[in-house]
Structure 1
């Protein structure tokens, strides 16, 4: 069975509170936190980007299990904030962890679901016998224009998964996708910040696609929400995943372990992968996990996952920081320092 061999996460330690952003723009902080369910978000350090975050997440995955990096035959990095328009992030990651030169590498883009698309590709390549291990990463230092609604949630972080078929800690039983041409969110080449369709973000964007992929999974696997121990949904804010979970029949107890967004913000391509990692941090053999990502533009990838006995003795979860540990002990920034970290303030020569 193809599955997750090991996994790792990286989240920058810096944070800014939503109320600090609201203070600068004269907004009502309680309205924003109440409407979004997000109270603070992660901020990259000035020398951090999607590539460095991807490298750290991959290294944390390797710390948990003794995998020979030279046996990783594919590295795919999903992001909408790759540091170069023409220069793959995946090559940098492969070199940093010692997977080069015998590997295939590529950068993926599909808004916030590029990381799960990378997982699907690795699943297929492992199952076909083309590679022994594949490394799939979702990593972002997401963008939001000053004063825009996105600025309150656009965060930084990433998760890495090594996919293989020898004693996986969790089997990837099935995956399916639901995709349409829905322009709810976009950023043209050369633009610093994305734009969004406002009222189209929920429907026909997020809810149509997440429900579409989820119900397709239920149909193909002959399951319902009650058959799963945990569920993880893309989390652009805290309200959307809670609503879609309720609409599909999941309880708050099922989604709570993977709901990192209130203290993390929206890490875009890293959002649902980090939620899955947080769930694996506390999962036990036999647990059944449902995952559904979402990427504007628009599409969703759903996964049916079963945790195996290997999570007890084939992996050392304590060898790398858990999501909960990475969220602890933050360093808070005021808006001026946040703007400097995000490159919104640039010193003129």
Structure 2
């Protein structure tokens, strides 16, 4: 997909909660000695997807000095809504001080719900139905005690303010490509507390197949190749998968290094690729091209090609996401299970 009218990213922000737990601390409870990552973030007892989305959006607005009266859409992609029936976006509209003449909805497509929200806002802005909109990917992911997901399911999110190029953007959307199929590698039925997954089935037929098809589709349709991009960001369910898919597609370790955050914060689900994208924008220079490829179980992938502009220098997120990560503090397993609601009095 290529927009007829130029659109791009006006501002951005990312956030992860203050607390983290080491994989070693989880493994010591369940008798495991090898781990998929080093640490993962988790929310405090008073944090949820809405508060994470708020922090990311606040950073995006303040860092770019975006005009609030021109923001006419707020879409949140998440699979961990605080309410089963009540939108999260409406809370943000009031909390951020936005106009009530606005579109708002919660999106769901497992871990690629955030990029689905981005596609919607890009389309609304490109068609000139709205001036600006905010797309957010945020989650407080769930993992059953002792399950493989408990080692990686984390919390965090990122927000992107989208506008026309005429308004001045820090990164121009050049093109995108989406690929989906009915591949049930991971799911959570209504009323269930924790998701289920098919272990290795989440790899080749799900994650790798869909990302490779979306990225190759983008390359074939618009003439790109890996060397055209300074950086690349992939969905990060663990540390190995994004590095392996990058290698399969012809990208180097240096191209993915700035956005590879899963080893230290875990898999932030709908926020995963978008938080990595924010970390990459934090170091990008004018003229750099960035590939972004999300993945959502069920399954699908969205691939985007962006080019960074001169405005990146004045609109970088403040604080950058790695500064936020550097302030995180460790907590033990007992604190973690209480804050995540895994045990009750």
The two structures have a TM-score, normalised by structure 1, of: 0.96
> For the Cα contact (< 8 Å) 1:21–1:335, is it kept in 2?
yes
Q: Work out which of the residue numbers 17, 20, 31 in structure 2 matches 1:15.
A: 20
Aligned-partner Cα distance in 2 for 1:83–1:90: 11
Aligned-partner Cα distance in 2 for 1:340–1:331: 17
- What secondary structure, in the 3-state scheme, does the structure 1 residue paired with 2:51 have? helix
The Cα of 1:345 is off from its aligned counterpart by 1.5
> For the Cα contact (< 8 Å) 1:70–1:102, is it kept in 2?
no
> For the Cα contact (< 8 Å) 1:70–1:98, is it kept in 2?
no
Matched, 1:39 2:44: no
Aligned-partner Cα distance in 2 for 1:79–1:133: 21
- What secondary structure, in the 3-state scheme, does the structure 1 residue paired with 2:322 have? helix
The Cα of 1:203 is off from its aligned counterpart by 1.8
Partner residue, 2:174: 173
Partner residue, 1:132: 131
Instruction: Provide the alpha-carbon RMSD of the alignment.
Output: 0.8
The Cα of 1:70 is off from its aligned counterpart by 2.2
What is the CA deviation profile of residues 195-231 of structure 1, one whole-angstrom value per residue up to 9, with x for unaligned ones?
A: 0011210021100000000000101120111110000
Moved over 3 A (4+): none
Query: Structure 1, unaligned stretches of length 5 or more?
Result: none
Matched, 1:66 2:65: yes
Q: 5 Å matches for 1:271-310? A: 271-310=272-311
Q: Work out which of the residue numbers 1, 9, 12 in structure 2 matches 1:4.
A: 9
Aligned-partner Cα distance in 2 for 1:15–1:253: 26
Aligned-partner Cα distance in 2 for 1:147–1:237: 17
Query: Structure 2, unaligned stretches of length 5 or more?
Result: 1-5
Matched, 1:27 2:32: yes
Aligned-partner Cα distance in 1 for 2:12–2:130: 18
> For the Cα contact (< 8 Å) 1:144–1:194, is it kept in 2?
yes
Partner residue, 1:145: 144
Aligned-partner Cα distance in 2 for 1:264–1:123: 28
> For the Cα contact (< 8 Å) 1:287–1:307, is it kept in 2?
yes
Aligned pair count reads 338
Aligned-partner Cα distance in 2 for 1:219–1:94: 39
Partner residue, 1:155: 154
Aligned-partner Cα distance in 1 for 2:23–2:334: 14
Matched, 1:263 2:264: yes
Aligned-partner Cα distance in 2 for 1:228–1:331: 34
